[in-house]
Chain A
Amino acid sequence: MSRSRITSLLAILGLCLAASAAEVVVSDVTSRAIPIHLEGFSGEARGVLEFDLYVAGFDLVGAPQAQYSLGGKPGGSLAAMLSDVNNQAALFNRSYPGGSVRAQAHALADDVVQAITGRKGISRTKLVFKVQKERVSEVYASDFDGANPVQLTTDANIVAAPAWRPGRKSIVYTSYRAGNADIYSQDLSTGERKVLVRFSGSNISPAPSPDGSRLAMILSKAGSPDLWVGDAEGGNPRRLTTTAADESSPCWSPDGTTLCVVSRESGFPQLYTIPVAGGSMRRLPTAGVRNTTEPDWSPDGKWIAFTRSRGDSFDICVVPAGGGDAKVITEGEDPSWAPNSRTLVIARRTGKFGSRRLSLLDWPTGHVKDVAQVAGSSSQPSWSR
């Protein structure tokens, strides 16, 4: 075989490999942003629409580049017409009576997302997170874009890892208000809270199951920080891991059968899965990255987002829920999935170290935008589901 033939065969082979690699990247996950043009909106409505559509995977472009056009109508309540520029077709023509300008614009953004992509919008979901000022931290909640923040605790102590109880107006979190890391629940309708788990040692990283019937958590009461699962209020905890190393940050598969947790059993942090019914811990392969922490399982069950640490930097990664090649998405920590299994809320550090702020990441397009920030260092976000 001549040298040139070998070269051309190699070239063809290379092209095939490149093509298949490109396919892997394109399929299912990555997607081009959808170009849309906004016209006839101003002030707060425009700001809200631009934010909501950008983090939903749209690019805001001039009329000539647009595939879709959203035209606002003058008047008190928001009213708008969405049209497909290429087909000259109106997708909807709708008004939004009632509520605030923000609420109207969020509702419109959700309708645009639904009409164009078929996906349910996320503009009217909520976040809970931790805000640290000086040496004190409190739990806050806000709209998904950081607007309307509400301080939920006023203990002037330390809190950690707030998490929604799915489908309920209630959260769980760790508080040190009694001098120890204990797990509390707080009803957001009444403000009432309960101490759920307060063994000697650390009671941390509470994670309510998707159906709300159980609570996964890290307890050190048996001599090592292990993964335990209790009932909805944390009672009758059952120990799932028995390593001498520390486990952290459990999260649930959406069907409630499996937990993903971090263990340092091998000497450095790695992700593992374990059946909730009990059984052995299985390492979750994350090819290409190591030192992996803070997993969160997408609501559609397909992906696990997590943080990769490199000593002085942190990246958001995503891996198929069964393990495989980990994709490094962007700089940041502690991802939490939106109900759409596409958008993530993440914490990013200002400078190499120092305070953190919250941002939304639309994984398929790579769009990242900071939410409106509360004064202080915001971290450990959890998205309402």
Chain B
Amino acid sequence: MIRWSASHLQNFNRQIPNTQPPITPMKSFSKSGSLALVAILCLAAGCKKGQKNYTPLPGYSGTPGASSGLGKGQPILPPARPLSPDGAGSGGTDAVNRVDNPDGPGGQPSREEIEGMIANREQFKANTVYFDYDKSVVKADDTANLQAVAAYLKSHSDNKVAIEGHCDERGTEEYNRALGERRALSARDGLISLGIGPDRVVTRSFGEDKPAELGHDEAAWSKNRRGEFILLTPPPAGGVR
């Protein structure tokens, strides 16, 4: 377990001004009556002479009886900081991780390829496919949509497509994220079976995070269980990203 000790946190301790006057620890027990009571209770509880009866908190540097050392403030988490320029490249294993999928048949296009392309969300807007509750099979009704996307890609051989899978809000979050990916992959399999190269279709999942409709009923949910096709075209000649 992490203990958020002062030494751990000294780099980002926010100094909270202490608004309380410094108080001598155990001051309230200084009356003789209280002392007697404490002594009796200590005997009852089996206290040893000299047992520690104070718990200094992070930031406390005094000793009981001293009045200094108070008011260093409670250690808290660091404030949000500017992120490093772009995280990318700072990880020692990035190079390994960025090697593209060698594992499955029909690997997806590489991230570098995809990220250099222009996304067009309008081209296939009418071809969005919809899924049954908790299912990832592309329905027969949607075959025509897959065919339309496949036909366009066949006639534009330098284009690619991203498929974004989505879910309604009736699942748990990470389950939905995996289900949305499974839906996108099902649509991708459909395109591949229609003759589109695997290296032209990339998948993403947003789970329940990007609903098309905000309602909480079947009318909205049925619109949210979907796979959207986003056309990816090469950057204009001249290579401006």
User: Residues of A with Cβ closer than 8 Å to B?
Assistant: 73-77, 79, 81, 83, 87-104, 107-108, 111, 120, 124-126, 132, 135, 137, 141-143, 148, 150-154, 158, 160-161, 164, 167-169, 174, 176, 178-181, 184-185, 188-202, 204-205, 218, 220-225, 231, 233-237, 239, 245-249, 262, 264, 268-269, 293-294, 307, 309, 311-312, 314, 333-334, 339, 352-354, 379-380, 384-385
Contact = CB atoms under 8 A, between A and B. Distances in A.
A81 B41 contact: yes
A257 B80 CA distance: 35
Interface of B: 1-4, 8, 11-12, 16, 20-23, 25-29, 38, 41-42, 44-45, 47, 53-62, 64, 69-74, 76-84, 87-88, 90-94, 96-98, 100-101, 103-111, 114-115, 133-134, 136, 169-175, 177-179, 181-182, 185, 202-207, 209-210, 216
B181 A221 contact: no
Contact of A169 (B2, B83, B93, B107): B2
Given A93-B42, A95-B26, A152-B80, A200 B100 contact: yes
Contacts of A75: 23, 27-28
Contacts of A152: 80
16 contacts: A79-B26, A89-B44, A97-B54, A126-B4, A153-B80, A161-B173, A164-B2, A167-B1, A194-B84, A200-B203, A204-B178, A248-B175, A249-B175, A264-B178, A353-B216, A354-B216
B191 to A, nearest CB: 13
A222 to B, nearest CB: 4
Given A135-B210, A225-B181, A100 B16 contact: yes
A20 B106 CA distance: 57
A194 B90 contact: yes
A191 B82 contact: yes
- With most chain A CB atoms within 10 A of its CB, the pick from B3, B27, B55 is B55
B174 A248 contact: yes
Nearest to A161: B174
Contacts of A248: 174-175, 177-179
Contact of B104 (A81, A143, A158, A221): A221
A350 to B, nearest CB: 12
Contacts of A247: 178
B41 A83 contact: yes
A220 B20 CA distance: 56
A201 B107 CA distance: 10
Among B47, B82, B174, which residue has the most Cβ atoms of chain A within 10 A?
A: B174
A191 B73 contact: no
B170 A312 contact: yes
Contacts of A142: 77
Nearest to B80: A151
B70 A98 contact: yes
Q: Report whether over half of chain B's contact residues are helix, strand or loop; otherwise say mixed.
A: loop
A385 B210 contact: no
A45 B81 CA distance: 31
Contact of A94 (B54, B169, B179): B54
Contacts of A101: 20
Contacts of B216: 352-354
B197 to A, nearest CB: 14
Nearest to B88: A195
A356 to B, nearest CB: 9
A150 B54 CA distance: 30
A246 B70 contact: no
B16 A221 contact: no
A97 B69 contact: yes
B6 to A, nearest CB: 9
A6 to B, nearest CB: 48
Given A111-B55, A201-B185, 14 more contacts: A79-B25, A90-B47, A91-B45, A93-B53, A98-B62, A100-B73, A125-B1, A169-B2, A192-B83, A192-B90, A200-B107, A221-B101, A235-B92, A311-B170
A178 B76 contact: no
Nearest to B16: A100
Nearest to A313: B170
Contacts of B94: 194-195, 198
Given A89-B41, A167-B2, A103 B110 contact: no
Contacts of B57: 96-99, 103-104, 107
A158 B55 contact: no
Contacts of B104: 221-223
A201 B4 contact: no
A194 B106 CA distance: 29
Contacts of B69: 97-98
B171 A196 contact: no
B173 A379 contact: yes
Contact of B173 (A111, A160, A233, A339): A160
A98 B173 contact: no
Nearest to A82: B45
Contact of A231 (B73, B93, B206): B93
Given A89-B41, A98-B69, A201 B175 contact: no
Contacts of A93: 29, 38, 41-42, 53
A307 B176 CA distance: 13
Contacts of A333: 172-173
